[in-house]
Amino acid sequence: MGNRTFAYFLALSLFGEKGRHISTVLLSILIVFLLSSVLFISSSLHSVIENALREEPDLVVQRVEAGRLVNLPLKWEEEILSIRGVSKVTPRIWGRYFTGVKGKSFLVIAVDFLDENSHKTLEKLIGETELKTFLDGRHMIVGYAVMEWMKSHFYKEYYNFIGRDGEIKKMKISKVLPKEDNALFADTIIMGIESAREIFGISEDEATDLILDIPNDAERDFIADKISSLHYDIRTISKKESRAAYDRMFNFKGGFFLSLFCVVLLAFVLILYQRYSQVYSREKRQIGIFRALGWSMGDVLKLKFLETLSVVTGSYIIGVSIAYIYVYILGAPLLKNIFMGNGNLDMELILPPVLDFSALSSIFLLYALPFIAAVLIPVWRISVSDPKEAML
Amino acid sequence: MSYIIEIEDLQKHYDNSGERFHALRDIDMKVRRGECVILKGISGSGKTTLLGIMAGLDHPSSGKVVVDGEAIAKLPDRHLSRFRGKHIGMIFQHYNLIENFSVRENVMVPLVPMNLDFEEVERRVRESMEVANISHKASMSAGRLSGGEKQRTAIARALASDPEIILCDEPTANLDRANSERFVEILSKLHDMGKSIVIATHDPIFDHLPFEARVVHMEDGRVVEEGRES
Amino acid sequence: MNPILLDTQVQIYLLSEAILYLLMIPAFLISLKIIPKWDFGSFSQEQYALEREAYLVMTILIFAFVMKFLLLPYFVFAIDNLNTLVPGAMCAAGVISANSYGMPLLFVKLFLVFALILWMAVNHYDLEAKNYPWFKIKMWIFIAIFIVASVELWLDFSYFLDIDPTRPVSCCSALFGQLEGANPLPFGLDIEKLLILFYLSWSLIVFAHYTGQTLAKLLATLLFVYISYYAVVYFFGTYVYELPTHKCPFCMMQKEYHYAGYLIWATLFGGSFGTMAASICKIFLKVDTGKMESLSFAMLNLFTLTVSLYPLVYRLQNGVWL
Ligand SMILES: Nc1ncnc2c1ncn2[C@@H]1O[C@H](COP(=O)(O)OP(=O)(O)OP(=O)(O)O)[C@@H](O)[C@H]1O
Ligand SMILES: [Mg+2]
């Protein structure tokens, strides 16, 4: 079989009796839509993180006192640079700045404009080479979420930071990072290293942490071990560890959702089983006639199976398409909050469209396999209909 | 002499709640190629059951059933169905049309599993509708046909796969006189085409056929008497 | 909770495996019921009911078969993606060796694919014949499949539950790289002899195919799969990666290498399992397996062609061998 006559009959049984499949299709579309929305959001976030991690340093060295991150002395720089395999060590200054006791917080990152590397990253970030204005030290670049917060607090051109010493530091806003591509920088402020030192009260011979360049991947774990043994209060974070941390976070949320989804899926399966048993029991006589006219059990099985498969793939394509529009074009209102769940500033994350094999195959498996499994027995039951049925 | 249907020592019984009911006993029957056989007998004498077994729709309890050289009493479903589709055209008492299919689609049903070209399928559908005189209603849905039209659609469907054997169960039970006569006309056409025909009926209209036919009387699941009529 | 178990793909994989197993349980019970009672010559109503029930077993198995086929690459894909969670791992090789369940699981999976292909073949010929001549054999094969599938499910869960995301594993370069003095190749072969044996066993298959020597073909195919595995990992793979030291059966399934590994392994295992199943059917059931043989043969040739092209194209582009 598999010819045009068969296809014609497949179409007849799919579209012939209107409403026979419509409720199943609608329900399936809803299920696929829910599932794909969540998986699309998570794979999109994944790619955001992947991109951000590419810029991440190979190894970060920090100082921890009683489990709390503290500034480290710059003399560590020399010690670490002397380890073989480390090609470069760069000190960084950054910290969270809280706008008040119960206020919001910004991530303040300081950049050394004299340093070539950070210069390049920054250029890429704001897409502009005009950094000269920065060098006088009283300017900053802010993420769009920060800008929105400031506007709502009537700071349109500058913001007054209150430094460690209680003095007010007035910083001009020279640029806002565009929303697109910079989702992770929404609550970030970038400023010169001197201003940051003043605001956080970090002295000239200290830094928040050190970042290392280690050209050889294979040596990273070994070097990290070596650095850890230099001082009792040293902590190292490798690129891989931070990726694993992110992965874990999103997996946790995704995993939570999936467990919830299993309950929905179970209900779906039961409904399908019921519905198909009902529809097919009405068709028993018709199939009995088919059987009497020369259709074998295998023929009916094939017809019913392809009918199911058409419903499954049809709903799959429609559901995935709607989810694509919902997530990537409309920006996944409501659902996104579950994933972001960040009380700080209103992070309006733009999700870059990612349509990967992993998400698509996962959706298909998670939806189609239980679907077909649920209707397998009703399908079998109808296909072994007794041809004697036609004699009665 | 070549027989198209050979039945030997056929038994059929139903076991319902421990009681055994013999629907057919010791049936021996042979049908020659191109022959027309009329099965007669009162209601409940086992005509339908016998037709069902000849068509491979039902299984005998024991015995031998050879149709067109194939022993169909014990065949796996796949082969039995294929055999049924190819060699047997069945006209049921209640027509058994698919109500929401059109006439054309109804006629197409037996052709679907045969793996033919679509052009060939369309040709066969057209031809058999012509023989059965129903071409003018080809796209009407079967549920809205009159009794006679339903009957003729059923005939067209039975002819679609070009079978050697036509089995009819009470073909005129639900027809008026005029339609019954038209049926007999079509029947004689089929007879001229060389089909072997078995008809189960009590309708006296089959007592005077325009062609030669053999009458087989059944009673209580047995063949009691054979005769010749024309 | 173990972060491995929170991975979406792992969850979906385990759920799918569990559902398939649940479906196979009724099929198994029905088979147990059918086997002693089956007597195709019988006219009893019960026998006809058994025939219908056998169709249920068949329906479930064909579905399970298709799904297992799809789940195998999905499994590899999932563990490949886990490499970010398992310290030290760069690809699926490291993840699969994260505990002692990994490799047996992979073998059981491959065996199951073979057994399912064999079952499908026997089922096909059984349905073609007019008296179900191999019905019981088919059912026994299914019983065996079910037992192996039970082991597989147990291994599935043991494997994923036992991956410790804090315990570092070796990456593929450590697992497959040549250690000093130790030759990883079988029979003490070196690369040259391995390649000779590879093409020799392939020629043997071609010869046996055209002369219709089924037993020879079966044996040659067995040798061919075994040799091919090493040939791909230790020779052809290095051309896929274009790096003489990169020896790994899994990395080639990553995006960087255009998922070439899926094609390579699918054609190798599909082709050889198909050939083996067809040969077994031909020897024991004495049926005409022409169609299946040509299809598997084509797959084996596609495999040989694909892996041979990698070094040749490299040579043409760069003018040297690796
Ligand atoms: N499934 C069954 N179980 C028990 N008895 C049955 C079954 N099917 C048919 N019978 C019996 O077998 C006998 C023969 O039935 P059959 O339908 O062959 O009669 P018939 O000659 O076609 O009658 P009619 O002229 O009324 O159509 C009837 O007595 C009927 O009750
Ligand atoms: Mg009757």
- Domain boundary residue among A237, A271, A287? A237
Judgement on whether residues A293 and A179 belong to the same structural domain of the protein: no
Domain count, chain A: 2
Residue A12 has pLDDT above 70, yes or no: yes
Angle at C54 between CA C49 and CA C56, to 5 degrees: 100
Tell me: do C179 and C246 sit in the same domain: yes
Contacts of A296 in chain B (CB under 8 A): 77-78, 80-82, 113
Cα A45 to the center of its chain, rounded Å? 2
Percent of the residues in chain A that have a pLDDT greater than 70, as a whole number: 84
Q: Can you tell me which residue has the tokens 């073998």?
A: C107
pLDDT band at A1 (very low <50, low <70, confident <90, very high): very low
Residue C186 reports pLDDT greater than 80: no
User: What are phi and psi for residue B95, nearest 5 degrees?
Assistant: 65, -45
Transcribe A319-375 into DSSP letters.
HHHHHHIIIIIS--TTHHHHHH---SS---PPPPP---HHHHHHHHHHHHHHHHHHH
Range of the domain at C253: 173-318
Q: Which pLDDT value is given to residue A290?
A: 93
Amino acid, single-letter form, for residue C290: G
A212 and A273, same domain (yes or no): no
User: DSSP string of B79-143?
Assistant: HHHHHHHHHEEEE-TT----TTSBHHHHHHGGGGGG---HHHHHHHHHHHHHHTT-GGGTTSBGG
Pair (C81, C215) in one structural domain: no
Give the pLDDT score at A322: 95
Own/partner long-range contacts of C119-125 (Cβ < 8 Å, ≥24 apart): C119/C61, C119/C65, C119/C145, C120/C62, C120/C65, C120/C277, C121/C277, C121/C278, C121/C280, C121/C281, C121/C289, C121/C292, C122/C281, C122/C285, C123/C58, C123/C61, C125/C281, C125/C285, C125/C287, C125/C289
The amino acid present at B94, given as its one-letter code, is H
Tens of pLDDT, residue by residue over C101-149, are: 999 999 999 999 999 999 999 999 999 999 899 999 999 999 999 999 9
Please indicate whether, in this complex, the C-beta atoms of B48 and A391 are within 8 angstroms of each other.
yes
Q: Which among C40, C127, C129 is the nearest to B74, CB-wise?
A: C40
- pLDDT for the residue B123: 94
Q: Could you list the residue range(s) of the whole structural domain that residue A306 is in?
A: 3-51+245-390
Bigger pLDDT: C273 or A191?
C273
pLDDT band at A117 (very low <50, low <70, confident <90, very high): low
The verdict on A149 and A133 lying in the same domain is yes
Contact between chains at A301 and C165 (C-beta distance less than 8 A): no
Beta bridge partners of residue B229, listed in sequence order = B213
Among C20, C55, C77, the residue with its CB nearest the CB of A380 is C55
Beta carbon of B124 within 6 Å of any ligand 1 atom: no
Same domain membership, residue A217 and residue A71? yes
Whether residues A223 and A327 share a domain: the answer is no
Is residue C10 domain-shared with residue C144, that is, in the same domain?
Answer: yes
> The tokens 């959001």 sit on which residue?
A41
Query: Which domain-ending residue is among A213, A237, A261?
Result: A237
Q: Which two tokens stand for residue A106?
A: 């910004």
Residues C134 and C226 in one domain: no
Mean pLDDT of A265-294: 91
> Where is the domain boundary, C116, C149, C170?
C170
For residues C10 and C149, state if they share a domain.
Answer: yes
Q: Which helix (H) or strand (E) holds A141?
A: strand A139-142
The conformation of residue A178, written as its DSSP 8-state character, comes to -
For ligand 2, a single-atom ion, which residues have Cβ within 5 Å?
Answer: B 48
Q: What pLDDT does residue C180 have?
A: 52
What's the token pair of residue A113?
A: 């404009």
In the predicted model, is pLDDT for residue A261 greater than 70? yes
| Residue C16 Cα to chain centre, angstroms | 18
The verdict on a CB contact (< 8 Å) between B113 and A16 is no
Ligand 1 atom nearest to CA at B170: 27
Residues in chain B: 230
Structure confidence at residue C157 (pLDDT):
94
Compute φ and ψ for B115, nearest 5 degrees.
Answer: 60, 50
Counting as contact any 3 or more CB pairs under 8 A, the partners of A are B, C
Q: For chain B, which residues score pLDDT lower than 50?
A: none
Expressed in angstroms and rounded, the spacing between residue B23 Cα and the centre of ligand 1 is 7
Residues of chain C in contact with residue B77, where contact means CB-CB under 8 angstroms, are 51, 55
Q: For A211-247, write each residue's pLDDT tens digit.
A: 888 877 767 777 888 888 888 888 888 877 777 777 7
SS3 content of chain A, % helix, strand, coil (to 5): 60, 15, 25
CB atoms within 10 A of CB A261: 18
Residues C161 and C255 in one domain: no
- Alpha-helix runs per DSSP H in A56-98: 75-81
Q: Are residues A17 and A144 in the same domain?
A: no
pLDDT one-digit tens code per residue, A148-169: 888 888 888 888 888 777 788 8
Please identify, among C155, C170, C185, the residue that sits at the C-terminal boundary of a domain: C170
* Exposure class string for A341-374: b at 16+ Cβ within 10 A, else e: eeebbebebebeebeeebbbbbbbbbbbbbbbbb
Instruction: For residues C39 and C122, state if they share a domain.
Output: yes
Q: 3-state DSSP call for residue A48?
A: helix
b/e per residue C161-190 (b: at least 16 CB within 10 A):
eebeeeeebbbbbebbeeeeeeeebeeebe
Q: What is the DSSP string of A180-249?
A: TT-GGGTTEEEEEHHHHHHHHT--TTEESEEEEE---GGGHHHHHHHHHTT-TTEEEEEHHHHHHHHHHH
Is residue A106 located within the same domain as residue A220?
Answer: yes
CB B85 within 8 A of CB A295: yes
pLDDT for position A158: 82
Q: What is the pLDDT of residue A133?
A: 63
Nearest CB to B76: which of C41, C45, C132? C132
Question: For the residues C168-189, what does the mean pLDDT come to?
Answer: 72
The ipTM estimated for the assembled molecules is: 0.93
Q: How many domains does chain C have?
A: 2
Residues C27 and C155 in one domain: yes
Domain boundary among A187, A213, A237: A237
By three-state DSSP, how is residue B36 classified?
strand
Architecture of domain B3-229: 3-Layer(aba) Sandwich (3.40)
Gap between the Cα atoms of A263 and A147, Å rounded:
42
Do B8 and B187 touch, CB atoms closer than 8 A?
no
Shared domain check, C70 and C27: yes
C147 and C197 part of one domain: no
Residue B100 Cβ < 6 Å to ligand 1: no
Q: Which of C170, C196, C211 is the last residue of a domain?
A: C170
Mean pLDDT of A332-358: 67
Say how far apart CA C10 and CA C300 lie, in whole Å: 31
pLDDT per residue as tens digits for the range B117-127? 999 999 999 99
**How close B46 gets to chain C, by Cα (Å)?**
19
Q: Are residues A26 and A161 in the same domain?
A: no
Domain layout of chain B by residue ranges:
3-229
The Cα angle at residue C194 between residues C188 and C197, in degrees rounded to 5? 115
Chain B nearest-CA residue for A286: B98
Q: Ligand 1 pocket, B47 CB below 6 A?
A: yes
**Alpha helices (runs of H) in C163-190, residue ranges in sequence order:** 172-176
Higher pLDDT, B188 or A341: B188
- Is residue A69 within 8 A of residue A187, CB to CB? The reply is no
Asked if residue A271 and residue A200 are part of one domain, the reply reads no
- Give the best residue of B79, B80, B82, B83 to mutate against chain C (max C CB count within 10 A): B79
| Residues B109, A293: C-beta atoms closer than 8 Å | yes
So what's the pLDDT on residue A302?
93
Per-residue pLDDT at A64: 84
Are A274 and A375 within one domain?
yes
Subunit partners of chain B (3 or more CB pairs within 8 A):
A, C
A65 and A119 share one domain: yes
* pLDDT computed for residue A118 by the predictor: 60
Whether residue C266 sits in one domain with residue C125:
no
